[in-house]
Structure 1
C-alpha cells in the first residue's frame, strides 16, 4: 500500500512538472499571429454598409469618408510571406441619396420603403495581396476604390503623414463607366 502511495505521489509531481515545462515552452515560442485594428477608407460615392477582412468586421463608411472608426481585431501571421492574401467582403449601397424622403421611421410604409431600398444593395468579395510588413502591424487599412476594387495596407502611418504609402487613393476620381473584367 505504501509503495502504491509513493508511486502515486511521484506520478502526481511528474504530471505537475510536465505541465509547468509545457507552459514555459509555450511562453518561449511566442504568438504566431499579430492582431491589428481594422479601419476603412471609402474612395467612392456609394455607402459601404459593412465589411470584413478574413471575418474581422469593419465599420460602416459613408461616401468619400473613412479612417475615423476602428474595429478590433484582424489577425496576420507574425512573419510576412510573398503569397499572403486576405479576403475582403463588403456590402455596398449604390443608391445613397435615395433615402432622403422616406416615410416616418417605424411605420409600415417605412419598412416597405427600406425593404425595396435594401434589395438594391450589392455584395462583393475580393482576395487581396498584403504588402510586405515588418515586426509591427499597426492596423489593417482597407481602401475601397472605384469600380469595386479594394486594397489593403498595414502601415503605421495615417493619411495626414507625408510617409503614408497610399496617398494616391485619395486623389482618385470615379469614372462614369468601369471596365468589364
Structure 2
C-alpha cells in the first residue's frame, strides 16, 4: 500500500508541474487590458475530412473531427478585456480528406463575435465550415446549447464532404507552423 501511495504522489507532482503553468496562464490576464481564455473547435465539414491541427494567432489549439466538437480546449488566447474595435484572430488549420488522400493547409483572419464581454464567457470557439471558412465566437453558452448564437452545432449523421463548385484543392504547404 505504501508503495502505491508513493507512485500516486509522484504522478500528482508530475501533473502539477506540467498542468499548473497552463492553468495559471489562463487564469491570469496577459496584461491589465487583456484576459486569457481557452480555445476549442467545432467541425462542420462532414465525414471523411478532419482538422488535424489548428492554430489561433500562432498558438496550437488542437484537432477537430469533421463533424461536431472534440478538439482543443487548450489554454490560451488573449483577448482585450474591453474591446472597443473589432478583434481579429488568425486561424491556420490543416485538413485531411481520407477518401482522396488530400492534405492541405488553410489560413484565414476573422473577427471574433462577442456575445459577452471577455472574461465572462465559456472560451473562444472556432467553427470550421464548408468551403474552408472559419468563424470565431466568444459566448456565455457552449456550441451544443440551443441558446448559442453561433453556427448551429452539427447533429445527426455526418453528411459527405462536398467541395463547393468553385473550390479547388489547395497544394500542400511545405512550411509548417
- How far apart are residue 121 of structure 1 and its match? 1.4
- Contact 1:42/1:144 (<8 A) preserved: yes
RMSD, matched Cα:
2.7
Within a 5 Å distance, the mapping from 1:26-105 to structure 2 comes to: 31-45=32-46, 46-67=49-70, 69-94=72-97, 96-97=98-99
**Would you say how many aligned residue pairs link Structure 1 and Structure 2?**
131
**TM norm structure 1:** 0.62
Task: Give the Cα separation in 1 of the matches to 2:144 and 2:50.
Answer: 23
- How far apart are residue 42 of structure 1 and its match? 0.6
* Change over 3 Å in CA distance of 1:67–1:156 after alignment to 2: farther
Unaligned runs of 5+ in 2: 1-30, 169-177
Q: Please give the per-residue CA displacement for 1:119-154, whole angstroms capped at 9, x wherever unaligned.
A: x41111001011234142321100000000100001
Q: Please give the per-residue CA displacement for 1:55-82, whole angstroms capped at 9, x wherever unaligned.
A: 2222111220314641111111111133
Unaligned runs of 5+ in 1: 1-29, 99-116
1:134 is matched with: 117
Higher strand proportion = 2
- How far apart are residue 162 of structure 1 and its match? 2.3
**TM norm structure 2:** 0.63
Task: Give the Cα separation in 2 of the matches to 1:176 and 1:68.
Answer: 22
2:9 is matched with: none
Q: Please give the per-residue CA displacement for 1:1-47, whole angstroms capped at 9, x wherever unaligned.
A: xxxxxxxxxxxxxxxxxxxxxxxxxxxxx721111111000111311
* Change over 3 Å in CA distance of 1:175–1:159 after alignment to 2: same
Higher helix proportion = 1
Q: Please give the per-residue CA displacement for 1:64-101, whole angstroms capped at 9, x wherever unaligned.
A: 0314641111111111133211100001112x246xxx
Return structure 1 stretches of 4+ with deviation > 6 angstroms.
none
- Match of 2:110, SS state, is strand
Q: Which has the larger radius of gyration?
A: 1
